[in-house]
């Protein structure tokens, strides 16, 4: 009967370590004015503590979160990333900053691996039996898989019909007129205020990558 507690403590320890590392990295980035984005840190730390203490409610929530994150992460890699950045920009980034690019890819792989491992551990027969005994929902979290997959799909569709449509084409045309044909351009964001619109693009070639903005 205690097998599920052993599994939960193992997962909890890993999440605590990951959460602490992520919090330290967040502090480092903020202290040095670097960009930072993560959905782990505090959640991983708190969830890890409750798992380590044997909370079955935490086990249910971690199962759902890992399902959501796994589906969302795979959707991000398979759907959103190809729509957001053309292959030429990825190649330019790799040529100019190979270590940073490889580190980003490695981070994504590690994150997906952690989510997959966590989900499999939380869906082990012992933990599922523990959920049933505690009157917690023990069903496969299909809804969270679906929601996690739909979010990047929705963003990809919106991105396609805005920045890859007439707005993106107009922004690229204006960027070429302003910054020249020595760059290739990839729209990254769009904003509108009243009658004024602006688009931010990545301008890139074999020598540099920079962010430019055009408006009309």
Coil, strand or helix at 85: coil
Edge to edge, the sheet with strand 196-204 lists 184-193, 196-204, 209-215
Mean pLDDT of 19-27: 85
**62 near 46, Cβ under 8 Å?**
no
Kindly indicate the confidence band of residue 142, based on its pLDDT and cuts at 50, 70 and 90: very high
User: String of b and e for 15-52 (b: at least 16 CB within 10 Å)?
Assistant: bbebbeebbeebeeeeeeeeeeebebbebbbebbbbbb
Mean pLDDT of 60-64: 96
Position 11 pLDDT exceeds 80: yes
Position 76 pLDDT exceeds 80: yes
Average pLDDT across the chain, whole number? 86
Mean pLDDT of 32-50: 79
Kindly indicate the confidence band of residue 178, based on its pLDDT and cuts at 50, 70 and 90: confident
Q: Rounded to an integer, what is the distance from CA 21 to the centroid of its chain?
A: 17
What is the C-alpha separation between 213 and 141, in angstroms, rounded? 42
Mean pLDDT of 188-210: 83
Kindly indicate the confidence band of residue 39, based on its pLDDT and cuts at 50, 70 and 90: low
pTM score of the predicted model? 0.81
User: Between 134 and 189, whose confidence is greater?
Assistant: 134
Residue % of the chain over a pLDDT of 70: 95
What is the C-alpha separation between 22 and 211, in angstroms, rounded? 27
Residues 6+ apart with CB under 8 A from 1: none
Kindly indicate the confidence band of residue 35, based on its pLDDT and cuts at 50, 70 and 90: low
> What pLDDT is stored for residue 205 in this prediction?
87
Mean pLDDT of 115-124: 96
> What pLDDT is stored for residue 2 in this prediction?
61
Kindly indicate the confidence band of residue 210, based on its pLDDT and cuts at 50, 70 and 90: confident
Residue 210: in which H helix or E strand, if any? Answer: strand 209-215
What is the C-alpha separation between 79 and 81, in angstroms, rounded? 6
The predicted-structure confidence for 49-58, as pLDDT tens digits, reads as follows 999 999 999 9
Kindly indicate the confidence band of residue 105, based on its pLDDT and cuts at 50, 70 and 90: confident
């Amino acid at each position: 009967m205690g097998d599920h507690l052993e599994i939960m403590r193992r997962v909890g320890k890993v999440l605590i370590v990951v959460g602490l590392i992520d919090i330290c990295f967040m502090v480092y980035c903020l202290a040095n004015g670097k960009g930072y984005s993560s959905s782990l840190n505090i959640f991983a730390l708190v969830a890890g503590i409750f798992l380590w203490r044997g909370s079955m409610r935490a086990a249910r929530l971690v199962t759902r979160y890992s399902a959501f994150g796994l589906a969302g992460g795979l959707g991000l890699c398979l759907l959103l990333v190809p729509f957001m950045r053309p292959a030429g920009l990825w190649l330019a980034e790799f040529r100019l900053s190979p270590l940073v690019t490889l580190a980003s890819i490695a981070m994504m792989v590690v994150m997906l691996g952690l989510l997959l491992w966590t989900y499999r551990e939380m869906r082990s027969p012992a933990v599922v039996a523990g959920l049933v005994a505690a009157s917690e929902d023990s069903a496969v979290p299909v809804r969270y898989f679906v929601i996690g997959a739909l979010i990047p799909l929705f963003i990809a569709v919106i991105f396609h019909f805005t920045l890859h449509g007439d707005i993106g084409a107009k922004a690229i045309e204006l960027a070429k007129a302003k910054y020249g044909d020595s760059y290739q351009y990839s729209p990254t964001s769009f904003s509108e205020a009243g009658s004024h619109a602006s688009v931010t693009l990545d301008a890139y070639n074999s020598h540099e990558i920079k962010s430019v903005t055009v408006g009309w």
